[in-house]
Amino acid sequence: MKRLLTFVLVLALLLTGLVSQPVFGSDIGDVEIKLEGAITKTDLGMDGTGFVKVSGVKVKITGETEVEGTLEPGVEVRVEGELKHGKIIADRIRVHDADEGEIDVTGAIKKIGLKVGDTFVFITGDTMVDGDLEIGETIGVSGMMHHGFLLADTVEVDEDTELEFKGEIEKIALFLPGVKVIITEDTGVAGDLEVGAEVDVEGMLKGTFMFHDKTFLKVKAETVDVK
């Protein structure tokens, strides 16, 4: 009886962990960022360290940050650094004529999201994918519904698929640590999109959003280069 109760308790904990696991992925991981835009807010100490906001994103200035120029509201800058917990830890920030919101992101794909009709399909590292994921392709999916999303066990790119769910890919989203990358029909994609692959993304910052009390950047991709 005790063994049965222990098993039930462990199973309940595992299921709770599954339910509470963010579908959008973690905000933890190595992501390199280059961002251009105007400073909208500064909070800097006498030693020059603190925070500035660039295109709505919080940028941390440390004692190791290379700073070129005077950082004040209205000044256009280019920031280079790492994304951690929704803010950029700046390695370098310099006053620079900027294209507002232009952003480069380098990091590993943690999950892939597909919009198929009215259903959102999520691909994880455990999903078996047969074929190349591209907008307009017909796919078949097997998996289970989870909080309104279809978590895929198998994805088959094939018009004649016999899998239980079938439809055409309308949109693709890549989830890097702390970043959602939106791929459209106009996005140039070089390479196969796979969970775990490292990508270089060039595009425009389209704001931030909160999920599970964590801040994520939203980027509309112009090009995606799979390394």
What is the SS3 string spanning 56-84?
A: CEEEEECCCCEEECCCCCCCEEEEEEEEE
Q: Which range (77-81, 95-99, 121-125, 192-196) has the least confidence?
A: 95-99
Average model confidence (pLDDT) across the chain: 87
- Mean pLDDT of all residues in 93-97: 93
What pLDDT score was predicted for residue 98?
84
**CATH topology for the 32-105 domain:** OB fold (Dihydrolipoamide Acetyltransferase, E2P) (2.40.50)
pLDDT(190) > 70? yes
What pLDDT score was predicted for residue 85?
83
Q: State the span(s) of the chain assigned CATH 2.40.50.320.
A: 32-105
- The DSSP 8-state label assigned to residue 60 in this structure reads E
Residue percentage of the chain with pLDDT more than 90: 74
pLDDT(7) > 60? no
What pLDDT score was predicted for residue 146?
84
Contact 35, 54 (CB under 8 A): yes
pLDDT(31) > 50? yes
H, E, C per residue of 85-109: CCEEEEEEEEECCCCCCEEEEEEEC
Beta bridge partners, 33, equal 81, 105
Q: How many residues are there in the chain?
A: 227
Q: How confident is the model at residue 23 (pLDDT cuts 50, 70, 90)?
A: low
- The DSSP 8-state label assigned to residue 110 in this structure reads -
User: Among all chains, which residue has been given the structure tokens 């950029």?
Assistant: 88
What pLDDT score was predicted for residue 41?
96
What pLDDT score was predicted for residue 218?
95
- Mean pLDDT of all residues in 84-107: 93
Q: Which token pair is 158? A: 């094939």
- Mean pLDDT of all residues in 172-201: 96
Q: Which residue has the higher pLDDT, 227 or 205?
A: 205
Q: Which range (14-18, 123-127, 147-151, 223-227) has the least confidence?
A: 14-18
What pLDDT score was predicted for residue 153?
95
